[in-house]
Amino acid sequence: MNLSEISDLFTWGTATAYTIAMIAFAIDLSQVTDAMVQRKTVRAQAPVLAVGEPERYGASSDTAVSEVVERRRSSRALGIAMSVTTIGFLLHAAAFTTRWVAAGRVPWANMYEFWLSGTFVAVGLFLVLQLKRDVRFLGIIVTFLSAVFLVVGLNSFHVIADDVQPALQNYWLVIHVGVAVLATGVFTVSFATSVLQLLRDSRDNGSTLLRGEGTVVRGKNVAAWRIMNWRFLDGIPTPSALEALSFRLNAVGFVLWTFTIIGGAIWAEDAWGRAWGWDPKEVWSFIIWVVYAAYLHARTTRGWSGRRAAYFVIVGYACVLFNFTGVNLLFNGKHSYSGI
């Protein structure tokens, strides 16, 4: 067994670890849901208080939520989720390193290696953010995306670790593609934040889907499962807090993406004799830059916030995904390499 095959085994182990972590995050969220339902049931059964009488259960609705969140912080499932995510990240680092050694170059030369690196940055950023603030509520989405991207990469885009074309044997491969990988990892985490922002905002504003209301058949509420599945949203930060976090991440990602385009233009001038040639990859990279620039401009100068800002982030991330998959698969250009 050579190093390339060992790297693949590490990658499969990483995908497995992230899948286990995702399940543990989901179990933790279901426990949060159960705790909130039980709390609501107890409060509903409490006797009506006379005016001025102290509350027997000693908690307002806000306090109840904070108690549930505090309980969640000590959840065994959450501890397992974070531990397995860390183990998966170490396996991820091993897969990345062995791929690097096997190829004899930085592993950023094809779609498989890009997804291997991009998910590594996303999970690493999630773990670094966790050191500064409690962002474990992002874990289920980050691990889900990372596991899916790794499995798809292994099954659909995998190529044997080998040398690259002469045009890619340049230090700009490290600079240009490396910054693009960092930007994509940041955009992935900001996307997860915006998804949760939309879900929390929808629940706060009375969405019947997320509140489990309005569906009754033969006297039974068949939407009760919705309450159990979505009540955990009450225990995550408010939409405004999530939006602020997403904005900070996107601002960093936008700066990195700007350097990606600048670095690509310098490399293109050196390799092909022109800085810009309307290659499909160049066009879509510019589209991504425009979308995120419009998002930052609209939010800072036009007052766009809330759901409109979150939708902007989701559109931007969809463009990022298309740039690194659809463009390579559907269009021919100078950026087509390794067949995919």
More reliable by pLDDT, 296 or 223: 296
Most confident of 99-103, 208-212, 316-320: 316-320
Out of 14-18, 68-72, 93-97, least confident range: 68-72
What pLDDT does residue 224 have? 43
Tell me the mean pLDDT in the region 312-334.
86
**Domain ranges for the chain:** 3-330
Mean confidence (pLDDT) of the chain = 80
Q: Assign residue 278 a region (left: φ > 0; alpha: ψ between -120 and 50; beta: otherwise).
A: left
Instruction: Read off the pLDDT of each residue in 14-32 and give the average, rounded to a whole number.
Output: 90
- Measure Cα distances from 79 to 22, 74, 191, 232, 321 in Å: 12, 7, 24, 17, 31
Percent of the chain with pLDDT over 90: 45
Tell me the C-alpha distance between 214 and 208, whole Å: 6
Per-residue model confidence (pLDDT) at position 262: 93
pTM, entire model = 0.81
pLDDT given for residue 111 in this prediction: 87
Is the pLDDT reported for residue 248 higher than 60? Answer: yes
Other residues' Cβ atoms within 10 Å of the Cβ of residue 100: 18
DSSP states of 259-328: HHHHHHHHHHHHHHS-S----HHHHHHHHHHHHHHHHHHHHHHS---THHHHHHHHHHHHHHHHHHTHHH
- Cα→Cα distances 274→252, 269, 271, 313, Å: 28, 4, 8, 31
What pLDDT does residue 333 have?
63
What is the arithmetic mean of pLDDT over 16-27? 94
